[in-house]
A and B are shown apart, each in its own frame.
Chain A
Amino acid sequence: MDRRIPDTVWMRAYSEIVIKCRDMLRSFFILLTCLSALSVMGQTKLTSEQEKQVLAKMEQSSNALHSLQCDFVQSKRMKLLSKEMQSKGVLYFKKPDKIRWQYTTPYDYTFIMNGDKVQIKSAKKTKNIDIQGNKIFRQITTIILNTITGGGIKNSADFDVTLYKQDDVYFAKMLPKKKEVKQVYAAIEVYFNPALTMVETIKMIEKSGEYTLVKLLSPKVNTNINESFFKVN
C-alpha cells in the first residue's frame, strides 16, 4: 500500500501557508504604516503665516539677548555599545560672536570662540585656530551661533530651515546645504521654549541615525560675563 501523502495535499498545505504569510505580512505593513503615521502626527509644519509670526518673535528675543550663561547636558546614545554617554558643562555667550563652551565632566574640554579666533583646550593640549582659513570650523561656529541665539535662523545660507510645532514646543529642522556639514549631519533640530524666548534643546542627527542631544539648563540672560572667559591666547 502506498502510504505517501498525495501531491494535492502538499500543494493545498503549501498554498495555505503562502496565503497566511501574505496576510501576516500585509497586517505587519499596515501596522508599520499606522505607527509611522502616529509618530509624525504629533508634529505639524507651520503655515507661512504662523511661520512669519514665530520668526518675528524669535528675532525679537534674539535681538534682546546680549549675553547668555547656562549649564548644559549633552547626551549621546551609542548603538554599538547600547549605552548613553552623558557629558556636562557650562556655556557663556556674548554678542555678537563670543562663545565659551566648556565641558567639565567626565572630561575637560573647552571651545572658545572670539571673533575669527578659536581656541580648543583639552586635558593635554591647547590649540588655536583661525576660522577664516578653516572651512569646517567656519561651518561649526556658524552652526553654534545660529543655534544658540535662534536669530536669523531662517536666513541661513548653510541650511534649509523648516519650522514645526509639536505639542507646545516649536522647533526648527535645519537640513545642511554645504558639503562639509552634509557629510556628517543629516539634520540639526533646534527646540525653543514655548514662549520662544530661548533655545532649549539642540538635536544633532548624524547620517547613521545616531544623534546627540544638548539641553541648555538654568539660563541666565544678559548678565555680566567676565571678558577673560573669551580670551584666546
Chain B
Amino acid sequence: MRASLRLISLLLLLFQLPCIAQEEIVLADSVVVDTVVTDTTKIRQYDLLLEVGTQQLSGICMMKMKSPTEIIGTVINEFGLTAFDFEYNGKKTKLSNLPPFLDKWYIRKVLQADMSFFFSKLPLQLDALKRSRQITFSPDGEVNLINIRFKIKYTFTPIKDEI
C-alpha cells in the first residue's frame, strides 16, 4: 500500500513537471511579445551600428517572427542597399543575399554566430556573457552585443515606427 502511494506521488510529481515547464515557456513567450519581435505581420526595425576596430558601418535591421521560434529579417544600409538577409531557426542563423565583398566564409561564420547569440538572448532580455560574446540590454530598448575575440561591437537601437 505504502509502495503504491509512493508510486502515485511520484507519478503526480512527474505529471506536474511539464506544467511547471509550460508556465516558464508561456512567461518567456509573453516577454517576446511585449519587447522585441512582435508577431508574424509586424516588422521591428533597429538602427544598427557595427564597429570593427576604428571602422564603423551603419544600417537598418528589420526582423519579424516567421513562427513562434523562427525569426527572419534583413539588414540594409540607409540608402536601401541590402547588406544581407537572415533566417534564425531557433538555434542557428543562416545568412543569404550578401554582396560579393561581404560574401566570404570567415565573415559569414562570425556574423552567423554573433546573430545566433543575439537572437537566442532576445526573448528573455537578460544580460549575458558566454565564451567570447557579451550582450547587454538597456531599459530604453538598446541592445549591445560584443564579440570580444574579434573586437566587433553591434549596437541595435530600436526605431519606433513599425512597418
What residues make up the interface of A, taking CB atoms closer than 8 Å to B?
Answer: 74, 76, 78-81, 83-85, 87, 103, 105-107, 109, 111, 120, 122-125, 127, 183-184, 204, 206-208, 210, 212, 214
A77→B47 CA distance, assembly (Å): 18
Residues of A contacting B58 in the complex (Cβ-Cβ under 8 angstroms): 109, 120, 122, 124-125
Please give the distance in Å from A18's CB to the nearest CB on chain B: 37
| Chain B, range 2-22, C-beta contacts under 8 Å to A | none
Extra 13 A-B pairs, beta carbons < 8 Å, given A81-B62, A204-B79: A80-B72, A81-B64, A81-B74, A83-B62, A85-B45, A85-B76, A105-B161, A106-B160, A122-B49, A124-B49, A183-B100, A184-B99, A204-B81
The residue from B56, B78, B79, B85 contacting A125, defined by CB atoms under 8 A apart: B56
Residues of B contacting A214 in the complex (Cβ-Cβ under 8 angstroms): 80
What range describes how many residues of B lie at the interface?
20 to 34
Q: Quick check: A123 and B78 within 8 Å, CB to CB?
A: no
Please give the distance in Å from A84's CB to the nearest CB on chain B: 8
What residues make up the interface of B, taking CB atoms closer than 8 Å to A?
Answer: 43, 45, 47, 49, 56, 58, 60, 62, 64, 72-74, 76, 78-82, 85, 87, 97, 99-101, 155, 157, 159-161, 163
Q: Quick check: B80 and A76 within 8 Å, CB to CB?
A: yes
Closest to B63 in A: A81
Residues of B contacting A107 in the complex (Cβ-Cβ under 8 angstroms): 45, 47, 60, 78, 159
The residue from B60, B74, B99 contacting A183, defined by CB atoms under 8 A apart: B99
Q: Quick check: A212 and B80 within 8 Å, CB to CB?
A: yes
Q: Quick check: A74 and B80 within 8 Å, CB to CB?
A: yes
Q: Quick check: B64 and A207 within 8 Å, CB to CB?
A: no
